[in-house]
Amino acid sequence: MIEELKNNLEQQSKIIKELQKLVTYVKTNKDEEQKKFFNESANGLIDKLIILNNSIPLTLENLGKENFNVKTTKLKGDVKTYTNETASDNYKSSIVNRVVTSSKSLSLSDKDKSQFRKDLGLEDVNIKKFGYEEKEKKIKDEGIFKQPGNFVKTANKFFGNIGEKIAKSPSSENLRIGLRKANLPYLVSSYVSSVLLIVLIAFIVSLILGIFFSVFKVSLAGVESLIPIQLSLLPIESILPRLGLAFLISIVISALFLIIGFTYPKSRAKGIQRRLSNEIAFAVMHMAAISSSGIEPTKIFTIISNTKEYPLFSNEAKKITHQINLYGYDLVTALKNVSKTSPSDAMIELFNGIATTINSGGSLNSYLNEKARDFLNDYKLLRQKYISTSATYADVYTGLLIAAPLIFMLMLVLVNVIGVSIGGLTASTIAIIGISAIVLLNIGFIIFLQVSQPDI
């Protein structure tokens, strides 16, 4: 009986934890059908909790009885009935039912047996239906450890020693932080080796093309020719200057690839920062809603890391869960570590603020609600600023690509009537050039708008 009492209490503890999870799911889920099933699961858990709690006095009463002659009757399923023949009349009026679940037995009264069996597994069925149980138990660590690709292996083979020397130098610290901020899964030595290999390939390819065009003259053949391109050897006296120019061009191209390679992490981090500014307000509101249920702070980041609504923010949350689950850091230390390599100043402020709030014993929910309001105001100001800038772009477009072409076409009509030429070009030729320029300017303007507009 002592063991059964212990099992009853353990089962109640598990039910309370499951109820906390379900409350979080209901608050953070927008699907009404899922909310309905989670509510049904919660109601079933509450019924089970009441039944188990009511069985404790009965179990304690039976605990003091001795000399039991137990008669066992097998019921349908996994429920067995045990009747005490020598107990008091008061106790005989209630049959003790031992429900076997997960290799453990629970003592229940007869009237609670059917209800318990009815509720048994209801919440598990509903949670498994939507896959939330597995999400909670499994740590998604895909993408944490990856084998280097063939290109990186080749780069390390040729430039591994140089990459390691650069990685050990103090000047490589900025590159290391840049790689972490840009979420690039490379060691500093491997990244440097890869950049050097790309530079070498660019130099060789550009030099080969330069030598080819320095030695041969490429011209288009006539329509009647089967081969549309003709190659002819250039004079020897003009080859040497061309080879020197080709060598210089190859060096310039290699230098450009080298500069792009070492500045790419920084530019990528800036792009991530810009996109994070559009996610952080809504992600923090989500975190505030979760924290209002009183859930453990670590679980907040676990839930956020599994969501797909905020891909960049959830990636930062995954870094925190990895620090806790893989490296064994506590939440405050993990927050401070991740904030050091976060590409966004807002994320740094948020993570440091959460760490300070936890250390000082403040209200995490109040802090998250306040930061959500601040970030939402910043988001609204950013959108308003873009709308004002778009109005300026619209005025420029109206004057440059609508009014100016109309005036240009009127001038061409006058030039055509008078019969003069401008710079040796006829009115029809100028019209073709002008229309082509207008088309190119429109295309360029569309590309500019697409690049400059913030992500929604």
> In three state form, how does the secondary structure of 110-140 look?
HHHHHHHHHHCCHHHHHHHHCCHHHHHHCCC
**Contact by Cβ (8 Å): 300, 287:** yes
Instruction: For residue range 19-45, list pLDDT tens digits in order.
Output: 777 777 676 666 666 666 667 777 777
Q: Is the dihedral of CA 384, 386, 391, 392 positive or negative?
A: positive
* Kind plus residue range of the DSSP H or E element containing 51: helix 32-63
Instruction: For residue range 70-84, list pLDDT tens digits in order.
Output: 444 333 344 333 344
Which distant-in-sequence residues (6+ apart) come within 8 Å of 297 by Cβ? 291, 331, 354, 358, 364
The C-alpha atoms of residue 318 and residue 122 are separated, in whole angstroms, by 31
Asked if residue 406 has pLDDT above 60, the reply is: yes
Nearest to 217 by CA among 239, 237, 244: 239
Asked if residue 191 has pLDDT above 90, the reply is: yes
Angstrom CA distances, 346 to 181, 261, 274, 276, 379, stand at 13, 27, 11, 9, 12
Q: Say what the pLDDT of residue 425 is.
A: 76
Q: Say what the pLDDT of residue 134 is.
A: 41
Q: Say what the pLDDT of residue 226 is.
A: 59
Structure tokens at 304: 């956020």
**Across 276-280, 354-358, 367-371, least confident range:** 276-280
Which is more confident, 185 or 136? Answer: 185
DSSP code string of 335-360: HHHHHHT-S-HHHHHHHHHHHHHHHH
**Contact by Cβ (8 Å): 37, 130:** yes
Structure tokens at 79: 């429920």
Helix, strand, coil fractions of the chain, as percent rounded to 5: 70, 10, 20
Structure tokens at 201: 């390939």
Q: Say what the pLDDT of residue 197 is.
A: 95
Structure tokens at 419: 């019969």
Instruction: For residue range 253-274, list pLDDT tens digits in order.
Output: 999 999 999 999 999 998 888 8
Task: Kindly give the pairing relationship between strand 96-101 and strand 70-74.
Answer: unpaired
Q: How many residues does the chain have?
A: 456
Residue 372: count other Cβ atoms within 10 Å of its Cβ: 21
Indicate the burial class of 283 (C-beta count within 10 angstroms; 0-12, 13-18, 19 or more).
buried
Asked if residue 321 has pLDDT above 80, the reply is: yes
Structure tokens at 155: 């780069």
Residue with tokens 């966004």: 344
Please state the φ and ψ torsions of residue 95, each to the nearest 5 degrees.
Answer: -90, 130
**Across 48-62, 117-131, 200-214, 222-236, least confident range:** 117-131
Q: Which of 47-56, 107-116, 382-391 has the highest mean pLDDT?
A: 382-391
**Contact by Cβ (8 Å): 35, 29:** yes
**Contact by Cβ (8 Å): 303, 26:** no
